Amino acid sequence: MRIAIASGKGGTGKTTVAVNLACYLRNLGREVTLVDCDVEEPNCHYFLSPEWDFQQAHNVPVPSIDQDACRGESCLLCVRECRYNALIWMVNHVMTFPELCHGCGLCSFLCPEGAISEITRETGIMRGGKARGIDIYSGSLNIKEAMAPPLINQLKSLAPRSGTVILDAPPGTSCPAVATVHDADYVILVAEPTPFGLHDFKLSVDVLKQMELPFGLVINRDGMGDNSLLDYAKQEGIPVLARLPHSREAARSYSTGKILIEDLPDFIEQYEQMVNTIYSRQKA
């Protein structure tokens, strides 16, 4: 079972939920893998302090053009078909822009002269390790890189197909978030009960409905703000998986990198409820 933790707004508590959920499930005796897909700002390892035993560069294949073999202006299949706008025709040659290339390989596949070969470009690193019996994978995009999805996809491919895999998504509703959640069996949306929280929650709901993914809501810092988020969830028939209370103790515990369900055991029942709701839904 793959469970993605996502949110439209940043800083709502995705990592807190992902890390605590991983620990809760591990304590139940399950095989758990946690994949930190927020490769622009990975932070699960702050809470779990894994021993890294695996590190690998992430490379994106990018096109290299043999200008002599290229048919030139009469063809331009590669330029026309690249959906990432990574190639152009400039006066007398095809020009490539590796920073824009997603490494899909379409240009070299299409080239009728076989004039396009692939070279690699490093865009980030992937690490793996273990903490508290949980397998952890974390990726980090290099500084100045803007293209997260290829790294996220490769990072996810490291996780086993069996057991429970928890995917901590980057915030928002753009490509990196979509790349993280698209093959999840269930998505937990974490939101705060505030007007901002509700606004961005609606954006996520809209995306997940279009993707036809099952999802539920975890209200984090419940008790602050207003009731509009809860009212909206009820009105839309979105299951509320848990309501994590807004508390000074939780904030203090979080800010020192502790695991809430260990430091403040009152939180355990929230995760129990979350897991029971998700798994009973999957069985139904």
Partner 1 sequence: MKVGISSTGKTFQDQLDPRFGRAAGFIIFDLDSGQSEYLDNQGNQQASKGAGIHSAQNVVQAGANAVITGHIGPKAFAALDSGGVKVFQSEVKSVQEVIDDFRQGNLTQAHNPDKPGHWQG
The radius of gyration computed from the CA coordinates of the chain, to the nearest angstrom, equals 22
Q: Are strands 2-6 and 164-168 parallel, antiparallel or unpaired?
A: parallel
- The residues with which 224 forms a beta bridge, in sequence order, are 222
Cβ proximity to partner 1, 76 vs 158, nearer residue: 76
Minimum distance from CB of 202 to partner 1 (Å)?
Answer: 22
Those residues whose C-beta lies under 8 Å from the C-beta of residue 57, and which sit 6 or more positions away, are 122, 124, 125, 126
Minimum distance from CB of 11 to partner 1 (Å)?
Answer: 23
In 3D space, the residue among 124, 127, 87 whose CA is nearest the CA of residue 105 turns out to be 87
Minimum distance from CB of 82 to partner 1 (Å)?
Answer: 9
Instruction: Report the amino acid identity of residue 224.
Output: M
Cβ proximity to partner 1, 54 vs 84, nearer residue: 84
What is the binding site for partner 1 (CB under 8 A)? Answer: 79, 84-86, 88-93, 95, 97, 99-100
Q: Are strands 116-131 and 134-141 parallel, antiparallel or unpaired?
A: antiparallel
Cβ proximity to partner 1, 88 vs 203, nearer residue: 88
| Angle in degrees, CA 212, 14, 125, rounded to 5 | 95
Minimum distance from CB of 104 to partner 1 (Å)?
Answer: 14
Cβ proximity to partner 1, 99 vs 185, nearer residue: 99
Those residues whose C-beta lies under 8 Å from the C-beta of residue 6, and which sit 6 or more positions away, are 14, 169, 171, 177, 180, 181, 187, 188, 189, 190, 204
Cβ proximity to partner 1, 85 vs 117, nearer residue: 85
